[in-house]
Amino acid sequence: MVGKLTKRCAVMNFGRVNFNKVLEKLNDKFEHVQVLEDLPDLKNTEVQVLCIVGGDGSMRRTAEYLMSEKIDLPLLGIAGGTANLGPLIRFDLHRLDFLDESNFFVYPVDCLEVSVNGKTVGFAFVDVVLSSFVVGFTGNTVENLDPEFFSRGSFVEGIKKAVGDGRTKFSRNGVELDHGINEIKQVIASPSNPKNRFAGRLASGICAWTSFHEHSGVLTVSEDFLLDADLRRDETTGRDFIRISQILFGSGDVIGVENLRDGTALILDGEPTISLKHTDHVRIGIVEDAVKVVSNLPKSLDLAPIGDVGRLHR
Q: Name the residue ranges covered by the structural domains of the chain.
A: 5-104+296-312, 112-289
pLDDT band at 305 (very low <50, low <70, confident <90, very high): confident
User: Cα separation of 306 and 314, whole Å?
Assistant: 15
pLDDT band at 234 (very low <50, low <70, confident <90, very high): low
pLDDT band at 300 (very low <50, low <70, confident <90, very high): confident
Looking at residue 298, its amino acid is: P
pLDDT at res. 277: 98
pLDDT at res. 308: 57
pLDDT digits (tens, 9 = 90+) for 36-87: 999 999 988 899 999 999 999 999 999 999 999 999 999 999 999 888 889 9
Instruction: Give the β-pairing of 5-13 and 254-258.
Output: unpaired
Average pLDDT over residues 248-269: 97
Poorest-confidence range of 131-135, 191-195, 271-275, 304-308? 304-308
Count the residues in the chain: 314
Q: Does the fold of domain 112-289 match that of domain 5-104+296-312?
A: no
pLDDT at res. 175: 97
Scored b (16 or more CB within 10 A) or e, 254-275 reads ebbbbebbeebbbbbbbbbbbe
Say if residue 148's pLDDT is above 60.
yes
**Residue 199 or residue 183, greater confidence:** 183
Among residues of the chain, what percentage have pLDDT more than 70? Answer: 95
pLDDT band at 310 (very low <50, low <70, confident <90, very high): very low
Mean pLDDT of the chain: 90
pLDDT band at 22 (very low <50, low <70, confident <90, very high): very high
3-state SS, the chain, equals CCCCEEEEEEEEECCCCCHHHHHHHHHHHEEEEEECCCHHHHHHCCCCEEEEEECHHHHHHHHHHHHHHCCCCCEEEEECCCCCCCCCEEECHHHHCCCCHHHCEEEEEEEEEEEECCEEEEEECCCEEEECCEEEEECCEEEEECHHHHHCCCCCECCCCCCEECCCEEEECCEEECCCCCEECEEEEEECCCCCCCCCCHHHHHHHHHHHCCCEEEEEEECCCCCCCCCCHHHHCCCCCCCEEEEEEECCCEEEEECCCCCCEEEECCEEEEECCCCCEEEEEEEEEEEEEEECCCHHHCCCCCCCHHHHCC
pLDDT at res. 70: 95
Provide the CB-side half-sphere exposure for 241 (13 A, CA).
Answer: 3
Which residues, 6+ apart, have CB-to-CB distance to 254 below 8 Å? 172, 173, 174, 283, 284, 285
Instruction: Please state which CATH number belongs to domain 112-289.
Output: 2.60.200.30
pLDDT at res. 222: 96
Superfamily of 5-104+296-312 according to CATH? Probable inorganic polyphosphate/atp-NAD kinase; domain 1 (3.40.50.10330)
Instruction: Give the β-pairing of 30-35 and 5-13.
Output: parallel
